[in-house]
Amino acid sequence: MQVKAPDRAPAEHRAPPEHRARRSPTSTPLWRSRKVQGLAYAAPTALFVAVFFLLPLLLVGQMSLSDWPLLAGDRGGNAPENYTDVTDSPLFWPAVRFTLLYTVIVTVVLLGLALLLALLVQESRPGAGFFRTVYFLPGALGLASASLLFWGLYSPTTGPLSRTLEKLGLVDEPVSFLGTPTSALLSTVFLVVWKFAGFYMLILLVGLQRIPHEVYEAARMDGASRAQIFRGITLPLLRPSLALSLLLCVTGSLLAFDQFFVLTKGGPDNSTVTIVQLIYREAFQRLNLGTAAALSIIVLAALLLLNVLQFRGLRHADES
Amino acid sequence: MTHPAQDTRLWRRDTTVLTRALGRTPHYVVAGGLAVIFLFPLLWNAWASVSGQPGTAQESGYGLGNYRTLLEYDAGLWRYLLNSTVVSALTVALTLAVSLLGGYAFARFTFPGKNLLFLLTLAILMVPYATLLIPLYVLLGRLHLQNSLIGLSLVLAMFQLPFATFMMRISFEAVPRELEESALVDGCGTAGALRRVLLPAVRPGLITVGLFAFLAAWNDFIAPLILISDSEKAPLPLAVANLRQQSMGAVDYGATEAGVVVLAVPCLLLFLLLQRHYVRGFMSGALKG
């Protein structure tokens, strides 16, 4: 929107206020200086960042080095006992392995499907908008709500999936979708893919729409096949969006909690315990905030390392 | 009346339309099939919440028995809805207020520590949610905000700040400077310029920020799970999840399905109404990447 400066205002009056301030510094009260006003507007943000972000970050470091039972509070330093306790715990390495396995499966399936969805709805065919909305709809739900929904859907007794399979005669007895470690993992992956595919579709769609039409037309003039266009043009030009999706998906999956807490509770036989679930268990079932803090720091370090590596890898790929 | 030549032309056009439609058919079969898969769980859940199932309050036929169970469960549905509404409203209000002022500061002012503060705000994204919740549990206890909906809202608003501040900063930067300067010349202070001139201009950004904050606060599960210990104060997602474990052994699927409907309907409605604003959030996020 353009607004004309009023005619009566001479040009010099339209100069930014700091110019005026510099010309007559004594006549400007302190609270009127741009610097102070900027600080004042940023103060709430600074307060939030300091109290609810930096302070907890320092505190979690201190807690990870202290004997800190949930009920008794700080009982002084015990470094590095919390860290060795955590890595010696019989649940730690299985949880690391399971979280990594889950992350790999989810990322591959989710981004593959999201790319397919984005390609399906990218052109302005009739109905593209409808399909876009439908694919995204599960994304508006919360992850916990979606997990509760699928918990009913997967029920061997009242869920529609098991009953349908039985009626079709494909199985003889109710199917327990969450009953074995493998089925519990795959059922959870299905839920997560259903919930998030539309989200990543949107990110990729933004990337697809930024590829100029002329590039496609030029390739088509040169007689490139659809597969060639996809490999030679779409995928390389989609790289920034794919990289962002990859980063978000990997980070989100490594921190998985809600879906397993609601659907499997870590079972059967602790086969689906993720790292973040382990933090929760340490703190609120084993009532040890010290080891929970140590685990939190380990997760933080791992994620920072991963982000650095991914960033470097992408930059390296960009140069080559 | 029809000329033979015209006839063939018509026929030919029909075949091209037909072949094109046929060529599209696989596309629509795939897209439609996927749409059914994406819609089925939502539709099934809505149907199951009102249809009869043994072992639920709605034994047979169709009716609202499961919703009645929900109304009477523990502190009652209205209590949990109120908790969720309070937390969501507070989170949205805090996020909007802080990011509006912060975005204005970052976009239009220079002050010492500006870049550092902006980077620190974005750095919240780099730190896992779970890492911060354990110390926040202790910290809120020291601030006497443990087990309080206000404490929970403050934490949820903090997690919204990276996106909200970024979004508001680019919203302010997109407003032409002349607009604000003419207001300043007319005798408004910066606060007056913000209120009278800039606020209307950044409204779309505010709607996007508010929508994201609402969806996050309404749906959050792990933060109330850790920070709220009193079941009276549980927001709805936590209450519905607890409800499943309540009835010993016998699982009440019906009441859970009704709970999912109550949880999902506001989110789906808001998303459908404000889709445009939601997608804008993605455009800015994707540009950053």
Nearest C-alpha of chain A: how many angstroms from B124? 7
Better pLDDT: A116 or B180: A116
Q: Write down all domains in chain A, each with its CATH number in brackets.
A: 94-319 (1.10.3720.10)
CA distance B266 to A66: 44
Q: Is the pLDDT of residue A4 over 80?
A: no
Beta-carbon separation of B102 and A60 below 8 A: no
| Tokens 């950004």 belong to residue | B205
CB-based contact A42 B260, cutoff 8 Å: no
Q: Residue B17 burial by CB count (10 A; 0-12/13-18/19+): exposed, middle or buried?
A: exposed
Q: What is the mean pLDDT of residues B114-125?
A: 93
| Min Cα–Cα distance to chain A from B1, Å | 34
pLDDT confidence band for B285 (50 / 70 / 90): low
Which site among B47, B131, B140, B225 would you substitute to test the A interface, given the most A Cβ atoms closer than 10 Å to its Cβ? Answer: B131
pLDDT value at residue A265: 86
Architecture of domain B66-288: Orthogonal Bundle (1.10)
pLDDT of res. B21: 62
Q: Is the pLDDT of residue A10 over 90?
A: no
| Closest C-alpha among A198, A188, A195, A313 to residue A263 | A188
Residue B120 has pLDDT above 70, yes or no: yes
Position B250 scores a pLDDT of 66
Which has the higher per-residue pLDDT, A134 or B289?
A134
| A146 → chain B, closest CA residue | B260
Per-position DSSP letters for B18-86, written without gaps between them: HHHHHHHHHHHHHHHHHHHHHHHHHHHHHHHHHB--TTSS--SSBSSHHHHHHHHSTT-HHHHHHHHHH
Please tell me which residue of chain B has the smallest CA distance to A305.
B126
Q: Tell me: the pLDDT tens digits for A29-69?
A: 666 688 999 999 999 999 999 999 999 999 999 999 999 99
Q: Where do the domains of chain B lie?
A: 4-50, 66-288
Residue B19 confidence (pLDDT): 61
- Residue B8 in this model has a pLDDT that exceeds 60: no
